[in-house]
Amino acid sequence: MPLDDSGSARSTTAGDAVLRPVHEQNAFEETVNRLLQTIRLGLVSPGGALPPERDLAVRLAVSRDTVRDAIKELTAAGYLLSRRGRYGGTFVRDPLPERGRGPATAGEPQPVAASPAEIDDVLGLRSILEVGAARAAASRPLTAAERELLWTSLTETRSVTGDDYRRLDSRLHLVIGELTGSPSLLPLLADNRMRVNRLLDDIPLLDRNIRHSDEQHEAIVIAILTGDAQAADRAMAEHLDGSAALLRGFLG
């Protein structure tokens, strides 16, 4: 089932990859981090509802008290909102707080200057994971539901700007990973995408780059939908090279 009920297509498998059991040693900190990933990767949209506390506890393999404490901290930090009553629950705030504002939370990484070696590591791993994912997704037959999910994710990404663009861009890339049919790949993609997003948070959004990215996204999606693995590989590699050039230009 979708992670939220806001009416948009959602990737259940990608959500499962993020909301997976945490390590007992740092249960609270990891629970906060997983909920933040769910928000920042666009698996629950601003205004959308998180799964109930009991469901989160089962999926994360922690106590409901741990989930409740994590939600309390993220509510205080401005990411979540609790409502009571018949239509109550825990909702993602709309709009989300700007990065760096509000009190620090246990699972929220604080912005630090990335070294050239760190940037190379993040972008190198991204290329390995995402180019391979695009090629693999184009190489397997897709169901009607998978094809609709991919196209919906593309069209939603093209319809927004600003912070919403990066959130939906993240979700589109995770959907491509889901379409490989390899559940083990998704946690790697999600973790790497969080590292990429921390770098992207330190550079400006450029309108021309967004338009170019939209064109590249469409080329990737069409290659996957038409089963052209070579074209999907090439289009994703070109897309990632463009993002890498911007990041190295601003941060290098």
3-state class of 82 per DSSP?
strand
Token pair recorded at residue 18: 């993020």
Query: Which residues share a beta bridge with 89?
Result: 83
pLDDT tens-digit profile, the chain (252 residues): 346 544 344 566 788 888 999 988 899 998 998 999 999 899 999 999 999 999 999 999 999 999 999 999 999 989 999 998 888 899 999 998 875 444 444 555 555 678 999 999 999 999 999 999 999 999 999 999 999 999 999 999 999 877 789 999 999 999 999 999 999 999 999 999 999 999 998 888 888 899 999 999 999 999 999 999 999 999 999 999 999 999 998 987
Residues sharing a CB contact under 8 Å with residue 192, sequence separation 6 or more, in sequence order: 122, 125, 126, 129
Residues sharing a CB contact under 8 Å with residue 196, sequence separation 6 or more, in sequence order: 122, 123, 126, 243
Taking Cα atoms as reference points, which of 127, 129, 126, 175 lies closest to residue 155? Answer: 175
| Residue-level pLDDT at 94 | 92
Rounded Cα–Cα distance for residues 244 and 151 (Å): 25
Rounded Cα–Cα distance for residues 231 and 90 (Å): 42
Rounded Cα–Cα distance for residues 20 and 47 (Å): 23
| Residue-level pLDDT at 231 | 98
Q: 9 vs 3, 45, 65, 79, 90, CA distance in Å? A: 10, 11, 30, 22, 20
CATH class of 12-92: mainly alpha
Residues sharing a CB contact under 8 Å with residue 220, sequence separation 6 or more, in sequence order: 134, 176, 232, 235, 236, 239
Rounded Cα–Cα distance for residues 69 and 32 (Å): 9
| Residue-level pLDDT at 7 | 38
Long-range contacts from 98-104, C-beta under 8 angstroms, 24+ separation? 99/201, 102/76, 102/77, 102/78, 103/76, 103/77, 104/77
Plot region of 156 (φ>0 → left; ψ -120 to 50 → alpha; else → beta): alpha
Taking Cα atoms as reference points, which of 93, 102, 97, 99 lies closest to residue 112? Answer: 99
Give ∠ CA 88-89-94 in degrees, rounded to 5: 100
Please return the burial class of 164, using the count of CB atoms within 10 Å of its CB with bins 0-12, 13-18 and 19+.
Answer: middle
- Give the residue extent of every domain in the chain: 12-92, 116-251
| Residue-level pLDDT at 163 | 76
Q: How much is the pTM?
A: 0.80
- Asked if CATH classification 1.20.120.530 holds for the domain at 116-251, the reply, yes or no, is yes
The residue to which tokens 């945490």 are assigned: 22
